[in-house]
Amino acid sequence: MTEQTSPLVSFYKQGWENYQQALVKTIAALSSEQLALPIAAHTRSIGELLDHMIGARFNWFYLWMGEGDPALDWNDGDDNDEPTLSRPASLIAMFEKSWHVISSVLDRCTSADLEQLVSPAASHQAWLRNQGKPEEVAHTRQWIIWHVLEHEIHHGGELSLALGSNGLEDFYTW
């Protein structure tokens, strides 16, 4: 008998998928100039914020959990001199590629999978030591999935604030 996908993961997937679609819709409405706008002078631009969110997806799902095809290019696939974070189509491509990895994990994750401990790579631990930071502890796959989701919710609020403070339509998930 094979174990069924976790009902908890099934619950999260629908909401996260709606969130993903709202992100893509929001990004599609932005120009390169608008992606360069920050909330305030000392904060990330909208494009940098979105790039940061993609980076977290890559770090936790690929580098930590080893999810996704090793040949998958987490970049936008464009050889363009303009930074990816200033091109709406590139950001959309990266959000969509990373969503396919996340969606695949959520589709097949069982309760046993969620309990699996994942240790950080030795290279990551060495980097932390070189920075004078404490080493990272192992995390369960459940913790990682929740952590990335809460990271996106947090930065979605920041995105909405950045858009609204610059007179642009808010990021809205309904």
The terminus-to-terminus CA distance of the chain in angstroms comes to 39
154 is in an annotated binding site: no
**Distance between CA atoms of residues 17 and 32, nearest Å:** 25
Return all residues near 138 (Cβ < 8 A) that are at least 6 apart: 117, 118, 119, 120
- Long-range contacts (CB closer than 8 Å, 24 or more residues apart) made by 97-103: 97/72, 97/73, 98/54, 98/57, 98/58, 98/61, 98/74, 99/17, 99/20, 101/57, 101/61, 101/62, 101/67, 101/68, 101/72, 102/16, 102/57, 102/61, 102/148, 103/13, 103/17
155 is in an annotated binding site: yes
52 is in an annotated binding site: yes
Annotated binding site for a divalent metal cation: 52, 151, 155
Annotated binding site: 52, 151, 155
